[in-house]
Structure 1
Amino acid sequence: MTDFPDLMGAVAGRLLGEPNRGMSSKDELRFGTHGSLSVKVGGPHKGTWTDHEAGEGGGVLDLIARLKGGGREGALSWLKQTFPDFAGRPEAPSSGRRITSTYPYVDEAGTLLFEVVRYEPKEFRQRRPDGAGGFAWNLQGVRPVPYHLPELIEAIGSERTVFIVEGEKDVDRLRQLNVPATCNAGGAGKWKLDFVEHFVGADVVIVPDNDDPGREHAEKVARALHPVAARVRVLTLPNLPRKGDVSDWLQAGGTVDELHRLVEATLDWRPAATTRLPAVWWGDEDKQPPLSWLVKGLLIEGGFSTVYGPPGTSKSFLVLDLALHVAHGRDWFGRRVATGGVVYVSGEGGSGMRMRMKAWRQEKAGEDGKPFVLIPSSVNLYDDEEGVETLIADVKDHHARMREPLRLVVLDTLSRMIGSGDEDKARDINVVVQKAERIQRELGCHVLVVHHSGKDRDRGARGSNALLGAVDAAIEIIRHDETGVCEGKIAKVKDGGDIAPFKYELLQSVLGTDEDGDDITSCVIAPTDASTGEAKGTTRLTDTARIALDALTMALTEEGQPSPGGQVPNSVRVVAIDRWREYAYRRGVSPSEEPDAKRQAFHRARQKLQTSRLIGIWGDWVWMIQ
């Protein structure tokens, strides 16, 4: 069977040329000035491509057909002509790789089953005999075995201690010193349960590399062999550098005699308790890590929370503001945040979110290169496991390109993530909660779910209360129509003290003009200390708003007209908004003479005056509220 995913790198190189190195990674090649064409050559989506501008994608044959024409049949023909050994992954001489070592894996009788091939620059491939004197670059139908199986069987039969290490290089180094050793192909994490039968009655010493994958691999092997081996020990070599192995230890002066002395001093491995629930033994309470915060006193680092409120109450604006403060490492509403990466999953579309991101960058001096990624797509966290697995894999890929730890994943909104589930059923909500907790657990970050509340605010979040029961913190958003002030009330917070509501307004930002010359606008969050029920005349105005109000007073005095009727009160005089804008410009509503800066300053002032109920606007007309 053709191993098409393994062909993707070579095919992309032949058809697309050199990738954009600045935007590529080991698992993903990016092509084009802006990297809009993504080709996955590793990871869970290996062998696929996506054109983010055109919204197209597919596999190896789809990419060939797109670039060469002729459909999938033509693509297959091109593949055969270009890569004659297309039954496996082709070698690419143009890449500058060269084979430096070949490690044969044989069966009990010494018959070659497959080989692990090492290249420089460092890379590993696996191949099997094709029956015609050559090799197929895949292990289709090949039985997995430990390295040097005949020698392993002989050593165990002779009751010698057998060492299990991570790589073939380490095995061969130990065997040169007359130390029986073996490993599995593929390195850490690739141990097969089929190997267990070869270790019945064996005395086994597992020597992990000095890194987390190495230690996890050693635990996996020990658990597998413990029921059948006569003895299992895990030896941690002293003074190893980070990622160091037994070859490094020997190179630094370690000897076989010292190795055996260390083995004799190593206790037998015993499986750790496999309790399902976390436990803290008496006397160990001070050894637990202290509570840490994503947002001091409000959101626990690595926790689970929700922000909810009626539709149209700026929930997404607020959560985006929080997310960008985390990515920038800035205090949020006066509370310290833990700086780190953020992935924001927006199920309600990407165009509006991109406008809000642009407005935040413009109004709050957003900086390039910050670890924030928007996924403008809904993810089904209810109907099957595919949605959560895809999301976790994608977030890991995004995090690999960040220089900061991953702190926050936002799911906006619950209604877009529940698939065919019912928000009113606790059972269905619990399914989504379990998926969110899996994201939280596997990614080690805080997960925040944006949710709607019903029309009756007193009943809290919409649907089942199972979500509120599961989260560590819940923030309810309320908008006061009289003033336009929004309020975030802390409905629930674990391990934090009493927290007063925080208040904010939406500040309009002018991003440019459309083809008709009209302003393109979005909003950003602006914290405020204004009362949620201020009476007219008590509003504290910014300098810009005060200048605009004075300009309106002058415009009405000099050019005011009688009410045109409609929704304009009969008792007031009005002036065209365009004329008011010109008066405001002349009075210096903006300290800058740049057109965009003046337009933005005027719109901010206009919005402040309108939300403060100091002016009225209908159509093209504006007036002072008496």
Structure 2
Amino acid sequence: MTKVSIQSVTESFDAEGRLVKERMKQAEKIGLFHASSAKINIANDALIEGLLDQGTLAMIYGQSNAGKSFVALDIAAHLSSGKKWLGREVKRSNVLFVALEGRRGLENRLVGLSQANKLYPNSGLICRSTRLNLFEGSADAQDLIDQANWVFDESPYGRAIFIDTMAMAAVGASENDGRDMGIVLEKLRWIKEETDAMIMLVHHVGKDASKGARGHSSIRATLDTELELMTQGGNRYLKVTKQREYEKGGKIPFSLETISLLDTGMTRVTTKIVQPADTTKLSANDAIVSLLKEAAMPSDKLYEAFKAVRNWSNAKSQFNQALTTLKEKSVITEDEGLLKLT
């Protein structure tokens, strides 16, 4: 057997180590890096705890008139003040909110947020309501970059841009055409890189709600975070349907409260504000009825939806008891495996 001294082994390792270090230096010179040089990297600053990061592309989507714009503006207002949003920690941020569906509605919502003590005079929320087209040419995208960087102004705060809606920012493009959407998505990538902001898009659900947001699959593939606004059992939720860095599948419950802004008898102006959901008072019977108002469904699917409404004690027992009671009172019936209201 050949004897190998400890010294020779040490020298061999030293020589190999020097070679690796030299290779690492060479790799960096040509835009590469050695795997062994990897370290823990926090790529983006969290803007909302466990949900939204700076430097990412996010989307809220849902049915028309479901409250998407109210939710997006509520998030923007909380970012601008640094106040907790539905129980989650928030990093104070400078925010540019691009409202492309009318200034009057936007201003009413802003007044409502102020009345609800969610928006403050010293907040970092700046709004734009002029047209924006991210499909034709590059002038509008450059204009948005310039405006956003003016808003952010080298501040230590977070950075966020909201675009409400994606459809209005892509007039002339076919949402189902990969080439058209590629142009729009490339502009969004450019804006994100030039501003280092979180960009939140407000979008619509497709004709088949089960298939998610409207448009080409490349849209969803590009997103870092996707939030679906949905109603269930009479309650509203944001369901986390995609997350690149955090866990997906969670639901964030909330409610929309109508408040009066002006009432002179002849003129009445109202708006809605986002509030934490109070599901604790909803009975099992009412929950089942509310769910079946939305759609008939088999018992197993109804039970899964029932569990998501609130934190029940003994969910299965309460569900079965309520189901039996509602059947006995002829409030619901079962037809070909589907439970529905009579």
- Could you say whether these structures have the same fold, taking a TM-score greater than 0.5 normalized by the shorter chain as the test? yes
**1:350 to partner: Cα distance:** 1.0
Match of 2:271 in 1: 522
Assess, with a 3 A threshold, how the Cα gap between structure 1 residues 365 and 387 changes in structure 2: closer, same or farther: closer
**1:360 to partner: Cα distance:** 0.9
2:109 is the counterpart of 1:359: no
1:180-208 C-alpha deviation (Å, 9 max, x unpaired): xxxxxxxxxxxxxxxxxxxxxxxxxxxxx
Say which SS state the counterpart of residue 414 (structure 1) adopts.
coil
Separation (CA, whole Å) in 2 of partners of 1:381 and 1:537: 46
Match of 1:488 in 2: 238
2:176 is the counterpart of 1:424: yes
Separation (CA, whole Å) in 2 of partners of 1:387 and 1:406: 23
1:528-584 C-alpha deviation (Å, 9 max, x unpaired): 14179856778xxxxxxxxxxxxxxxxxxxxxxxxxxxxxxxxxxxxxxxxxxxxxx
Matches for 1:244-323 after TM superposition, within 5 Å: 273=29, 275=31, 280-286=33-39, 288-289=41-42, 291-323=44-76
Between Structure 1 and Structure 2, the one with more helix by share is: 2
Say which SS state the counterpart of residue 354 (structure 1) adopts.
helix
Counterpart AA for 1:448: M
Contact 1:302 1:440 in 2 (8 A): yes
**1:488 to partner: Cα distance:** 0.7
Separation (CA, whole Å) in 1 of partners of 2:48 and 2:146: 26
- Corresponding residue to 2:197 among 433, 445, 462: 445
Say which SS state the counterpart of residue 193 (structure 2) adopts.
helix
Assess, with a 3 A threshold, how the Cα gap between structure 1 residues 404 and 512 changes in structure 2: closer, same or farther: farther
1:360-383 C-alpha deviation (Å, 9 max, x unpaired): 111135321111011012310011
Match of 2:313 in 1: none
Matches for 1:434-583 after TM superposition, within 5 Å: 434-480=186-232, 483=234, 485-514=235-264, 516-530=265-279
Say which SS state the counterpart of residue 167 (structure 2) adopts.
helix
**1:520 to partner: Cα distance:** 1.5
Separation (CA, whole Å) in 2 of partners of 1:273 and 1:418: 40
Contact 2:241 2:249 in 1 (8 A): no
1:25-67 C-alpha deviation (Å, 9 max, x unpaired): xxxxxxxxxxxxxxxxxxxxxxxxxxxxxxxxxxxxxxxxxxx
Contact 1:339 1:404 in 2 (8 A): no
Contact 1:341 1:404 in 2 (8 A): no
1:102-148 C-alpha deviation (Å, 9 max, x unpaired): xxxxxxxxxxxxxxxxxxxxxxxxxxxxxxxxxxxxxxxxxxxxxxx
Match of 1:386 in 2: 139
Contact 1:371 1:404 in 2 (8 A): no
1:270-304 C-alpha deviation (Å, 9 max, x unpaired): 9x7565xxx65323322644653121211122111
User: Which consecutive unaligned segments of at least 5 residues does structure 1 have?
Assistant: 1-269, 539-626
Separation (CA, whole Å) in 2 of partners of 1:490 and 1:504: 14
Matches for 1:132-143 after TM superposition, within 5 Å: none
Separation (CA, whole Å) in 1 of partners of 2:210 and 2:281: 18
Say which SS state the counterpart of residue 168 (structure 2) adopts.
helix
Contact 1:440 1:446 in 2 (8 A): yes
State the superposition RMSD in angstroms. Answer: 2.6
Match of 2:4 in 1: none
Say which SS state the counterpart of residue 247 (structure 2) adopts.
coil
Assess, with a 3 A threshold, how the Cα gap between structure 1 residues 295 and 479 changes in structure 2: closer, same or farther: same
Moved over 4 A (4+): 272-275, 531-538
Separation (CA, whole Å) in 2 of partners of 1:533 and 1:413: 34
Say which SS state the counterpart of residue 91 (structure 2) adopts.
coil
2:98 is the counterpart of 1:332: no
Match of 1:53 in 2: none
Matches for 1:59-78 after TM superposition, within 5 Å: none
Say which SS state the counterpart of residue 415 (structure 1) adopts.
coil
Separation (CA, whole Å) in 2 of partners of 1:491 and 1:533: 26
Separation (CA, whole Å) in 2 of partners of 1:287 and 1:486: 37
Separation (CA, whole Å) in 2 of partners of 1:393 and 1:474: 26
Assess, with a 3 A threshold, how the Cα gap between structure 1 residues 289 and 457 changes in structure 2: closer, same or farther: closer
Match of 1:375 in 2: 128
Task: Provide the TM-score with structure 1 as the length reference.
Answer: 0.39
Task: Provide the TM-score with structure 2 as the length reference.
Answer: 0.70
**1:305 to partner: Cα distance:** 0.8
